[in-house]
Amino acid sequence: MKRLSVVTGATAGIGYEVMVQLLDQGVSVIAVGRNIDKLNRIKEQFKEEINTQKLTLIQGDLSYHQGCMDVSNKIIEVINQFGGTLDLLIHVAGIVKSGYSENRDHQELTFATNHLSVYLLTGKLYGFLKKSIDPRILIVSSLSHYRAWFDKTNLQSKRCYNVLRGYQRSKLYNVLFSYRFHRMDKDIKIYAIDPGVVKTEIGDKNTKGLALFVWKIRKKSGVDAKLPAQQMVQIALDEKYIKDNGGYMKNGESVKSSRITYQIKKQDYLWKESEKLTNFVYPFDEVSIEKS
Ligand SMILES: NC(=O)c1ccc[n+]([C@@H]2O[C@H](COP(=O)([O-])OP(=O)(O)OC[C@H]3O[C@@H](n4cnc5c(N)ncnc54)[C@H](OP(=O)(O)O)[C@@H]3O)[C@@H](O)[C@H]2O)c1
């Protein structure tokens, strides 16, 4: 079966390895990255795949609203050239950031990049996934979500921001998003992925002081990005994972996520806030608005 996928964060770490392994499996990839130099290196490395349209590169910034809209519009253009169906959507892009910063929409940067982009991009591509006979969405969360707590009054950690709190919460939101999506649509399979500790550059890019020091130590015990990528590609393609639809996946197994993630009110609260912040309503929510 010919399949078309979208992979965000494809210029480095886990996302890059997912892109490579999907191509190896004969899946066409629309790869999203923000850094032109890195995209040019991929272009050079995968000349043949690009010439044969197995790989399409899209440049864009997922940290703010218009950036996400531009990326999704570019992706939609490519999907339409392929016949209008998307089979796999794999959200890998993410950041860890020391010091409070905002994007141009005045949203906390980690929240916007790691969570809001997932909400908006999935929503914009929803109709194309619905046309696939076996659509699947994977979202890379993290074991750090177990340490996060949910504060309705401070969703974006605008108060008392610190690097760990901001990151842990964004990864908690990845799971809450995934579970709420699953409650509303069981046909598109969705998986929150816990890749464990992985030897990538994520913690070296935007952290300093103690956070950078701790990351450098933790990273030493991390696995190569090829390993979680391999597990993710299996979850994306293998029939045996259909039964795990809606699950939190670690080492290829569905395991329990944190207690908070199963709380319907918290799932719904985050979803409603994301709807307001992105000004985007999912088709399944339009139906429930009409009914109420
Ligand atoms: N490494 C770990 O131990 C670990 C553990 C648990 C979960 N995770 C999660 O795994 C995912 C991938 O992380 P990684 O470790 O592979 O890190 P990475 O090597 O830094 O990769 C992150 C990717 O996201 C891209 N990205 C960041 N901000 C972006 C933006 N605004 N717009 C578009 N793309 C953007 C990066 O682009 P650039 O190449 O331009 O930086 C890079 O391609 C993240 O969601 C992270 O939270 C990682």
Q: Give me the residue spans of the domains in the chain.
A: 4-282
CATH 3.30.110.30 assigned to 4-282: no
Can you give the length of the chain in residues? 292
Q: Tally the C-alpha atoms within 13 A of residue 208's C-alpha that lie toward its C-beta.
A: 3
Ligand 1 pocket mutation, candidates 6, 7, 14, criterion most atoms within 8 A of CB: 14
Locus of tokens 């992105």? 278
What CA–CA distance (Å, rounded) separates 148 from 72?
29
- Enter the DSSP assignment of 108: B
Going from the Cα of 202 to the center of ligand 1, the distance in angstroms, rounded, reads: 6
Q: Residue 162 forms beta bridges with which residues?
A: none
Question: How do the pLDDT tens digits run along the chain, 292 residues long?
Answer: 789 999 999 999 999 999 999 999 999 999 999 999 999 999 999 999 999 999 999 999 999 999 999 999 999 999 999 999 999 999 999 999 999 999 999 999 999 999 999 999 999 999 999 999 999 999 999 999 999 999 999 999 999 999 999 999 999 999 999 999 999 999 999 999 999 999 999 988 999 998 899 889 999 999 999 999 999 999 999 999 999 999 999 999 999 999 999 999 999 999 999 999 999 999 999 876 666 5
Please tell me the predicted confidence (pLDDT) of residue 292: 58
Q: Is 227 in the pocket of ligand 1 (CB under 6 A)?
A: no
**The two structure tokens encoding residue 52:** 């044969």
8 Å CB contact between 23 and 229: no
Q: Is 140 in the pocket of ligand 1 (CB under 6 A)?
A: yes
Its pTM stands at 0.97
Going from the Cα of 185 to the center of ligand 1, the distance in angstroms, rounded, reads: 27
Q: Is 93 in the pocket of ligand 1 (CB under 6 A)?
A: yes
Please tell me the predicted confidence (pLDDT) of residue 270: 98
Locus of tokens 């842990």? 168
